[in-house]
Structure 1
Amino acid sequence: MKLRIVPARTGLDWVKGGIFVFRRQPLAMAALFFMSMAAMSLLSLFPLIGPALALALLPSVTLAMMVASAEAMQGRFPTPDVLLVAFRTGKERLRHMLQLGALYAVGFLLVIGLSALVDGGQFALVYLGRAELTEDIVQSSSFQAAMWLSMVLYLPLSLLFWHAPGLVHWHGVPPVKSLFFSLVACVRNMGAFVVYGLGWLGVFALGGLVTSLLAGLLGGSLGAISGIMVGLAMVMATMLFGSIVFTFRDCFEPPGRSAERPDDEERPAPPRPPGGPAEHD
Structure 2
Amino acid sequence: MNVRTLPARHGLLWLIAGWRLLRRYPRQMTSITLVYFLVVLIVNLIPFIGPFLLPLALPMLTALLGNACRALDHDQPLTQDILSAGLEAQRTNLLRLGGLHLLGSVILLFASQPLMIELNPDQSKAAEQLADLLSHLGLFLLLASPVVMAFWFAPLLASWHGVSAVKALFFSFVASWRNWRAFTVYGLVILGIGIALPGAVIVIASFFMPSIAGVLAMFARMALVLLLGPVLVSSIYISYRDVFSEAAVANE
TM-score by length of structure 1 reads 0.73
Number of residue equivalences? 244
Which residue number in structure 1 is paired with residue 161 of structure 2? 171
Give the AA of the match of 1:248.
Y
Which residue number in structure 2 is paired with residue 130 of structure 1? none
Q: What's the offset of the Cα at 1:202?
A: 3.9
| Cα gap change, 1:80 to 1:201, in 2 (>3 Å) | farther
Which residue number in structure 1 is paired with residue 23 of structure 2? 23
2:58 matches 1:58: yes
* Counterparts of 2:133 and 2:169, CA distance in 1: 30
Which residue number in structure 1 is paired with residue 239 of structure 2? 247
| Identity in percent | 30
2:171 matches 1:181: yes
Q: How does 1:253-264 map to 2 (within 5 A)?
A: 253-255=246-248
Question: Is the CA contact 2:198–2:220 (under 8 Å) kept in the aligned structure 1?
Answer: no
**Can you list the C-alpha shifts for 1:112-167, whole angstroms capped at 9, x where unaligned?**
12222344xx78xxxxxxxxxx8749959887665443322111110000110110
Unaligned runs of 5+ in 2: none
SS in 2 for 1:96: helix
Q: How does 1:5-154 map to 2 (within 5 A)?
A: 5-78=5-78, 87-88=87-88, 90=89, 93-119=90-116, 136=121, 139=129, 147-154=137-144
* Counterparts of 2:196 and 2:134, CA distance in 1: 26
Q: What's the offset of the Cα at 1:77?
A: 4.3
Q: What's the offset of the Cα at 1:57?
A: 2.1
Question: Is the CA contact 1:118–1:145 (under 8 Å) kept in the aligned structure 2?
Answer: no
* Counterparts of 1:135 and 1:81, CA distance in 2: 54
| Cα gap change, 1:197 to 1:142, in 2 (>3 Å) | closer
* Counterparts of 1:114 and 1:13, CA distance in 2: 34
Bigger shift: residues 213-222 or 240-249: 213-222
- CA RMSD for the aligned pairs? 3.2
* Counterparts of 2:147 and 2:131, CA distance in 1: 25
* Counterparts of 1:29 and 1:135, CA distance in 2: 42
Which residue number in structure 1 is paired with residue 219 of structure 2? 227
TM-score by length of structure 2 reads 0.81
SS in 2 for 1:176: helix
Which residue number in structure 2 is paired with residue 131 of structure 1? none
Unaligned runs of 5+ in 1: 124-133, 258-263, 270-281
* Counterparts of 1:150 and 1:84, CA distance in 2: 35
* Counterparts of 1:32 and 1:218, CA distance in 2: 35
Give the AA of the match of 1:48.
F
Question: Is the CA contact 1:211–1:229 (under 8 Å) kept in the aligned structure 2?
Answer: no
Which residue number in structure 2 is paired with residue 160 of structure 1? 150
Bigger shift: residues 153-162 or 104-113: 104-113
* Counterparts of 2:195 and 2:136, CA distance in 1: 25
Q: What's the offset of the Cα at 1:198?
A: 2.9
Q: What's the offset of the Cα at 1:86?
A: 6.1
| Cα gap change, 1:209 to 1:95, in 2 (>3 Å) | same
Which residue number in structure 1 is paired with residue 180 of structure 2? 190
Question: Is the CA contact 1:116–1:146 (under 8 Å) kept in the aligned structure 2?
Answer: no
* Counterparts of 1:22 and 1:171, CA distance in 2: 26
Give the AA of the match of 1:239.
V
Q: What's the offset of the Cα at 1:227?
A: 3.2
Q: What's the offset of the Cα at 1:185?
A: 0.6
Question: Is the CA contact 1:60–1:86 (under 8 Å) kept in the aligned structure 2?
Answer: no
Match of 1:207 among 197, 201, 205: 197
